[in-house]
């Protein structure tokens, strides 16, 4: 073999960064558009934060593990470290706390764009993914939670997503119970949460102290109505009409307007992915894909003066759905032979046809993927 | 003053990276959507290349100055240097030459997404900008040029862009004339091109040799029809029915289907921005903004086996238009008071209303930017 320039490698992309080709790229763009159209119709105004920020600005607002997950670049202009955004929610929070700090509340904002992670996670090899969502800033009330969950479901349905499951969570429930009716020594709170998260009943009992009192929460998991009844039984046994009763009432209110064709589940002590949520969280699943395609809940936005502002929102990560074939539309492609009538072709595009014009006598409409060709009288199927 | 945490700086963004807020962000998204809808109707299929690639893959395909203009990051996964894309055309070329190398030609692809430059240029302080466009791969014929110019104009008009000017260029004209009817010493070609580009008649004559023979090209610039007549006079004087005659015929053919409401100009020897174009180039301008908003033309895509494939395309950079106020739509926002009829509100959203639901008795629709509120009988103007 003779030495060849290494140009055959010039098609290689870094791990987790890939091209999306026509059917998937179009399905992805269509899904983003349909979701944002619904969100916009509910009064959420679009914002577009930049792809990169100063690392310190971004990490100041990234919660939990986010800050370790940044792809960094040195900016020769500022001589400072930039980070590519791994998440847009933190950026929307920054906008709400700075340039839109004085905008009247509740403030409704929405967004869509690519985000970049340093490393892929176990479930997905992709490091770049599409994120889109909506944030309701200035309140984390039950009414706000109801709106956010309702809008998320309506948007996904408008985009054609089927078999939607919403899993409700109460991220701070253990903290609240430990501070109230089910007291726990401070050093036991984290282990109790971890055992509950893992549904590890044996491990929970083995922790000793009053950890065993949390055992019934493991059972209050699964299909929404049965799990809620178990949660109500726990509440009745507590005899304390405080935090748990109010959370039960909130979940009932949020679930009430949701259509019967949505599957609801409850996992009150699930923590994974809700580390920065306050009282309410939810995960979104769809038929045809095992992992979650989105999540949301209540959180706080930090202002420059130290004030924390309540907020509620959801984010969707629809790429896995697209990858498993969601949303591929069978388009009608119409071949326009040489000498076709340009006005007739324009009229047909107005009716939804996608036209492919011959540039050369040799162009073959069928080979170019067209389903029809334009005869004088109109489109004819191949 | 007491020391305060530096959180007041946490709203600061790097130079040239900025947030786009509601009216502009929505106008930008709408323009991208409208342009891509038109392009898709002409058979161009969407691709989505990644935000970052290996630096060497990207620079191998970036023409001229592009390679110096990259924001770089070290990828801890591959231990190699990544670069953020400063341009998507090169990525689309890579896709055409690799994963879609065997797809039938002509191959029509379109794209939209953010690109990142290391430094801002003189005209624009932004380092991140939106790029969108369409590429027709496998031919750079006159028919291909006609389609690309026509589709670019139709797409901009569909998006509501007015006062469109198209400036035609013939990037390799001097090379072709120098190799044929107006011979030039090799070392004079670059200086002649530079003087013509600068419209520097005195400088051109001062170059000596046969440079002065190129003087008439400076006058063949300006409004299309008058400039074309001057170009035809040059051709007649040459007495050589070769390259110039064929370029004149091509420009006449490309201009023929263009509507009278588009302003056409000619600058045959303009080179800036067309360094990598072959025989044909064009710039796009719009009313209300002085710089160009897009450009296009013919070029070549490099394949792994060294083969070059002809291609034709255009790219738009619409951000400046958006920044000067293009496309802000006066939306009708409808406040939904507490206890409103949810089905009535849904019906109104279906008619194009954007609704803002009260979450609290204290919510004030007018203060929230609504133009109307929902009474039992329907929307009422504030």
Confidence label for B18 from pLDDT (cuts 50, 70 and 90): very high
pLDDT at B148 > cutoff 70: yes
DSSP string computed for A83-104: EE-S-SHHHHHHHHHTTTTTSP
What's the pLDDT at A2? 39
The span from the CA of B197 to the CA of A67, in Å, is: 49
Confidence label for A330 from pLDDT (cuts 50, 70 and 90): confident
- Name chain B contacts of A72, Cβ cutoff 8 Å: 73-74
Residues 174-233, chain A, touching B (beta carbon < 8 A)? none
Q: What integer is the mean pLDDT of B333-344?
A: 95
B-chain residue closest to A41, CA distance: B354
Distance from the Cα of residue A104 to its chain's centroid: 26
pLDDT at A65 > cutoff 70: no
Q: What integer is the mean pLDDT of A10-27?
A: 91
Bond into B106 cis (ω within 30) = yes
pLDDT 10s digits, B213-249 = 999 999 999 999 999 999 999 999 987 678 899 999 9
pLDDT at A224 > cutoff 90: yes
What's the pLDDT at B1? 37
Surface-to-core class of residue B219, CB atoms within 10 Å of its CB (0-12 exposed, 13-18 middle, 19+ buried):
middle
Strands B72-75 and B52-54: unpaired
The span from the CA of A307 to the CA of A325, in Å, is: 45
What is chain A's mean pLDDT, rounded? Answer: 91
> Which among A43, A57, A78 is the nearest to B356, CB-wise?
A43
* Phi (first) and psi of residue B66, to 5 degrees: -50, -40
* Phi (first) and psi of residue A318, to 5 degrees: -80, -5
Strands B165-169 and B80-84: unpaired
Give me the percent of chain A exceeding a pLDDT of 70: 96
What's the pLDDT at A329? 77
What's the pLDDT at B324? 84
Q: Which residue has the higher pLDDT, A354 or A320?
A: A354
A-chain residue closest to B27, CA distance: A46
The span from the CA of B37 to the CA of B46, in Å, is: 10
pLDDT 10s digits, A182-217 = 999 999 999 999 999 999 999 999 998 899 999 999
pLDDT at A44 > cutoff 90: yes
Confidence label for B121 from pLDDT (cuts 50, 70 and 90): confident
Q: By C-alpha distance, which of B184, B149, B375, B158 is closest to B283? A: B149
Give the CATH fold of the B15-160+270-329 domain: BirA Bifunctional Protein; domain 2 (3.30.930)
Q: By C-alpha distance, which of B168, B130, B175, B183 is closest to B318? A: B130
- Domain ranges for chain B, please list them: 15-160+270-329, 172-268, 333-381
Q: Which residue has the higher pLDDT, B240 or B321?
A: B321
Q: How far is B303 from chain A (nearest CA, A)?
A: 8
- Name residue B116's beta-bridge partners: B128
Q: Which residues does A374 contact at the CB level (< 8 Å), separation at least 6?
A: A334, A335, A336, A337, A340, A341, A344, A345, A348, A355, A380
**Cβ distance A332 to A354 under 8 Å?**
yes
3-state secondary structure of A52: strand
DSSP string computed for B112-143: EEEEE-SS--SS---SEEEEEEEEEES---HH
A22/B contact by beta carbon, under 8 A: yes
pLDDT 10s digits, A107-116 = 999 999 999 9
Q: By C-alpha distance, which of A340, A343, A234 is closest to A356? A: A340
Confidence label for A64 from pLDDT (cuts 50, 70 and 90): low
Q: By C-alpha distance, which of A103, A108, A155, A41 is closest to B331? A: A41
Confidence label for B9 from pLDDT (cuts 50, 70 and 90): low
What's the pLDDT at A376? 94
Per CATH, domain A22-323 is 3.30.930.10 = yes
> Which among A75, A82, A367 is the nearest to B104, CB-wise?
A367
- Name chain B contacts of A339, Cβ cutoff 8 Å: none
Q: Do residue A46 and residue B53 have CB atoms under 8 angstroms apart?
A: no
Place of tokens 């109010």: A246
pLDDT 10s digits, B39-98 = 999 999 999 999 999 998 888 887 654 667 789 988 888 889 999 999 999 999 999 999
pLDDT at A343 > cutoff 60: yes
The span from the CA of A52 to the CA of A320, in Å, is: 24
Q: Do residue B14 and residue A60 have CB atoms under 8 angstroms apart?
A: no
What's the pLDDT at A120? 81
Q: Long-range contacts made by residues B357-365, C-beta under 8 angstroms, separation at least 24?
A: B357/A42, B357/A43, B357/A147, B359/A106, B359/A136, B359/A139, B359/A141, B359/A143, B359/A144, B359/A147, B360/A139, B360/A141, B360/A143, B363/A106, B363/B335, B364/A104, B365/B335, B365/B337
- Name which of A8, A13, A85 to mutate to probe chain B: the one with the most chain B Cβ atoms within 10 A of its Cβ: A13
DSSP string computed for A178-238: HTTTS---HHHHHHHHHHHHTT-HHHHHHT-TTGGGGHHHHHS-EEHHHHHHHHHHHHHHH
Q: What integer is the mean pLDDT of A298-309?
A: 93
What's the pLDDT at A9? 67
What's the pLDDT at A263? 97
What's the pLDDT at A66? 62
The span from the CA of B190 to the CA of A258, in Å, is: 70
Half-sphere CA count of B343, side-chain side, radius 13 A:
0
The span from the CA of A55 to the CA of A57, in Å, is: 6
**Which DSSP state fits A44?**
P
pLDDT at B365 > cutoff 90: yes
Q: What integer is the mean pLDDT of B352-375?
A: 95
- Name which of A4, A15, A18, A22 to mutate to probe chain B: the one with the most chain B Cβ atoms within 10 A of its Cβ: A22
∠ at Cα A95 (B374, A153), nearest 5°?
50
DSSP string computed for B210-249: TGGGGHHHHHS-EEHHHHHHHHHHHHHHHT--SHHHHHHH
The dihedral of CA B265, B269, B274, B278: what is its sign?
positive
Q: What integer is the mean pLDDT of A348-366?
A: 95
Q: Do residue B95 and residue A19 have CB atoms under 8 angstroms apart?
A: yes
Q: What integer is the mean pLDDT of A323-339?
A: 88
Q: What integer is the mean pLDDT of A147-168?
A: 96
- Name chain A contacts of B369, Cβ cutoff 8 Å: 104
Q: How far is A41 from chain B (nearest CA, A)?
A: 4
Helical segments of B165-310, H only? 173-178, 186-197, 201-206, 215-219, 224-238, 243-255
Q: What integer is the mean pLDDT of B323-348?
A: 90
What's the pLDDT at A238? 87
> b/e for B130-161, b at 16 or more Cβ within 10 A?
bbbbbbbbbbbbbbbbbbbbbbbbbbbbebeb
Q: What integer is the mean pLDDT of B325-334?
A: 85
The dihedral of CA B200, B201, B207, B213: what is its sign?
positive
A4/B contact by beta carbon, under 8 A: no
pLDDT at A6 > cutoff 70: no
pLDDT at B182 > cutoff 80: yes
- Name which of B2, B19, B57 to mutate to probe chain A: the one with the most chain A Cβ atoms within 10 A of its Cβ: B19
Confidence label for B2 from pLDDT (cuts 50, 70 and 90): very low
């Amino acid at each position: 073999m003779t030495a060849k320039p290494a140009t055959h490698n010039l098609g290689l992309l870094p791990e987790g960064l890939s091209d999306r080709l026509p059917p998937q790229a179009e399905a992805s763009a269509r899904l983003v558009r349909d979701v944002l159209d619904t969100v916009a119709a509910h009064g959420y105004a679009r914002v577009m934060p930049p792809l990169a920020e100063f690392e310190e600005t971004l990490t100041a607002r990234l919660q939990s593990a986010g800050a370790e997950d940044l792809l960094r670049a040195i900016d020769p202009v500022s001589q400072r470290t930039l980070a590519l955004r791994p998440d847009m929610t933190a950026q929307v929070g920054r906008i709400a706390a700075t340039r839109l700090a004085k905008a009247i509340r509740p403030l409704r904002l929405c967004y869509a764009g690519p985000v970049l992670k340093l490393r892929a996670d176990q479930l997905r090899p992709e490091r770049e993914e599409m994120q889109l969502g909506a944030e309701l800033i200035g309140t984390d009330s039950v009414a706000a939670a109801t709106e956010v969950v309702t809008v998320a479901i309506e948007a996904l349905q408008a985009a054609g997503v089927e078999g939607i499951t919403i899993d409700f969570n109460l991220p701070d429930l253990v903290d609240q119970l430990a501070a109230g009716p089910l007291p726990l020594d401070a050093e036991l709170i984290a282990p109790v949460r971890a055992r509950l998260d893992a549904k590890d009943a044996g491990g929970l009992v083995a922790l000793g102290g009053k950890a065993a009192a949390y055992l019934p929460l493991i059972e209050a998991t699964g299909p929404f109505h049965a799990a809620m009844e178990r949660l109500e039984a726990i509440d009745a046994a507590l005899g304390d009409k405080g935090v748990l009763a109010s959370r039960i009432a909130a979940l009932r209110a949020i679930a009430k307007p949701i259509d019967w064709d949505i599957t609801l589940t409850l996992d009150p002590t699930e923590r994974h992915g809700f580390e920065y949520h306050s009282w309410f969280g939810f995960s979104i699943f769809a038929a045809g894909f095992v992992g979650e395609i989105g999540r949301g809940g209540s959180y706080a936005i930090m202002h420059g003066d130290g004030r924390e502002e309540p907020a509620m929102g959801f984010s969707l990560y629809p790429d896995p759905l697209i990858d498993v074939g969601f949303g591929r539309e069978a388009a009608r492609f119409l071949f326009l032979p040489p000498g076709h009538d340009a006005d007739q072709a324009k009229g047909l595009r107005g009716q939804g046809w996608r036209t492919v014009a011959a540039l050369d006598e040799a162009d073959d409409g069928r080979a170019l993927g067209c389903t029809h060709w334009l005869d004088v009288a109109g489109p004819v199927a191949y």
